[in-house]
Structure 1
Amino acid sequence: MAYADQQMSGAKITTIVIVALIHVFIGYALVTGLAYKAAQQVIKKVTTVDIKEEKPKEEPPPPPPEPPKDTPPPPIVAPPPPINIAPAPPPVQTVINAPPAPPVVVPTVSAPPAPPAPPAPPAPSKARGASPKGQGRWAAAIQRNYPSRAAREGREGRVGVRVNIDTEGRVSACQVSNSSGSPDLDEAACDGMTRYARFDPALNAAGDPISSSYSTTIVYQLN
C-alpha cells in the first residue's frame, strides 16, 4: 500500500506539473498573441488617423496708421568745439628798471556859451496925451459968456486952468492954476471949460483911451 501510494503521489505530482506548464504555455501564448493583436490595432489606428491641418483664422487687417503729428524737429546740438590743450608757456619775468612816466593831462577848453538871442523889438507905442478937439468953437463960446459985471467995469485978464479929462474927452474937473486977480473971471473960466471944452482923450501904449489932465489959459479981452 505504501509503494502504491508513493507511485500515485509521484504520478499526480507529474501530472500537476505538466498541467501547470501547459497553463503557463497557454497563458504565454495568449499573452503574446493578445499583445501582438493589440499592437497591430494600435499601429492601425495610428497609421489610419488623418491629421487635418487647421487653417489659421484670418485676422482682420490692422487699422491704418495715424497721420504723423507735426512734431518739432529735435534741437540741433552742435558738437562742443575741440579743446586745444596747449602746454602752458614758461613764466616770463619782467624787470622794471624805472617807474613809468606820469600821464600827460591835456586841459580841455570849453567853447564859450553862445550869446543870448536879442530880445524882440517892442511893439510901437500908441500912447499919446489929450488934445483939444474943435478948440476954436468952444473957445469962442467961453468968450461969449464974458462976465457981465467985469465987462461993465472993463476988467480984462488971463486965467490959467488945469482940467481933468475922462475917457470920452469931456472935462470932469477944473481948477485955477493961475488967477487973473478977478474972482468972477476965474470962476467963468472953469465954468466955460466944463461946459464947452472937448478933447481927444489920451491913449496908453496899447491904444486904449485913458483919463488924463490938460492945462491951458483963458484970455478975457474986451474989444
Structure 2
Amino acid sequence: MTGTKLVALIIALAIVGGIGAVMVIGLAVNAIKKEIERVTTVDIEEPPPPEEPDEPPPPQENTAPPPPVAPPPPISIAPAPPPIQTQPTIPPPSPPALRIPPPAPAGPPPAPPPPSMARPARTKNERSWAARIQENYPARALREEIEGTVGVRVTVTPDGRATGCTVTSSSGSDILDSAACQGMERYARFEPALDDAGNPTNGSYSTRITYRLN
C-alpha cells in the first residue's frame, strides 16, 4: 500500500468515526431531554390540612352549698356584784425603842506631854574667842592692807565645838575668807543645842567676822 492510499484510508476512517460520534451524542441528548421531561412532569399532591379538634365544653362551676348559720349564743346577764366593804387604814407598827447604853465613866485625863527642852546652840565666851580671831589678822592681808567682812556658818557638835565651816558671804578676799573659817573652828566655843528631852545634839551657828586695820 502506497502512502497516498494510506492517507486516504485514515481520512475515511476519521470521517466514519466522526459521523458515528455525532450520532451517539444526538441519541444521548434526546435521552437526557426525555428524562428531564419525565422528572419535571411529576405531580406532587399536597396532603389535606388536619382537621381542627372540637372545642371542649365549658367547665361547669361547682357551687358549694352555703355554710350553715349557727344561732347566736344566749346572752347571760350576771346579777349585780356584791357591795365592796372598806376598812379604816391600819397605822404601821411603831419602831422598837432604841436603847442607848450609858456612857462609860470618865477616867483620869491623860497626862500632858513633858515640856520640850529643845534649844539651839548658843555662844560661850564669845568676846574672848572673837577677839582672838581678829588678833590673828593674816600677815599677807596686813602687808597688802586688805579689809573686809566675812559671813560664816559652822556646825556645833554636842561637845560645843565648831566644825564644818562654810562661807555664806565673801569679803572679796580669799585670804580673809580662809582665815575667818580657820579662826572659828580653832577658837569658837558654844553651849551645844538640846533636843526635846534636853540631850545635847548637833546644831548650827552663823555669824559675821570683820577684819579692819587700826
TM-score of the aligned structures, taking structure 2 as reference length: 0.52
Q: Provide the residue aligned with 2:168 in structure 1.
A: 177
Distance 1:192 1:108 in 2: 79
Q: 2:179 aligns with which of 175, 188, 195?
A: 188
**CA displacement at 1:171 relative to structure 2:** 1.1
Query: Does residue 208 of structure 2 align to residue 210 of structure 1?
Result: no
Q: 2:149 aligns with which of 158, 163, 178?
A: 158
Q: Provide the residue aligned with 2:97 in structure 1.
A: 107
CA pair 114-180 structure 1, distance change in 2 beyond 3 A: farther
Q: Provide the residue aligned with 2:131 in structure 1.
A: 140
**CA displacement at 1:116 relative to structure 2:** 7.5
The residue type paired with residue 162 of structure 2 is V
The residue type paired with residue 192 of structure 1 is G
Distance 1:102 1:154 in 2: 105
**CA displacement at 1:108 relative to structure 2:** 2.3
Q: Provide the residue aligned with 1:126 in structure 2.
A: 117
Give secondary structure in 1 for the equivalent of 2:98: coil
The residue type paired with residue 144 of structure 2 is E
**CA displacement at 1:153 relative to structure 2:** 2.1
**CA displacement at 1:127 relative to structure 2:** 0.3
Gaps of 5+ in 2: 1-90
Indicate the structure (1 or 2) with the bigger Cα radius of gyration.
1
Distance 1:128 1:140 in 2: 26
**CA displacement at 1:119 relative to structure 2:** 4.0
Give secondary structure in 2 for the equivalent of 1:187: helix
CA pair 131-102 structure 1, distance change in 2 beyond 3 A: closer
The residue type paired with residue 97 of structure 2 is P
Where does 1:1-223 land on structure 2 (aligned, <5 Å)?
A: 106-110=96-100, 113=103, 119-223=110-214
Give secondary structure in 2 for the equivalent of 1:155: coil
Distance 2:166 2:200 in 1: 23
CA pair 157-102 structure 1, distance change in 2 beyond 3 A: closer
Gaps of 5+ in 1: 1-100
**CA displacement at 1:103 relative to structure 2:** 7.7
Give secondary structure in 1 for the equivalent of 2:155: strand
Distance 2:127 2:194 in 1: 23
Distance 2:144 2:94 in 1: 107
Root-mean-square deviation (CA, aligned residues, Å) is 2.6
The residue type paired with residue 131 of structure 1 is R
**CA displacement at 1:162 relative to structure 2:** 0.8
The residue type paired with residue 140 of structure 1 is A
Give secondary structure in 2 for the equivalent of 1:142: helix
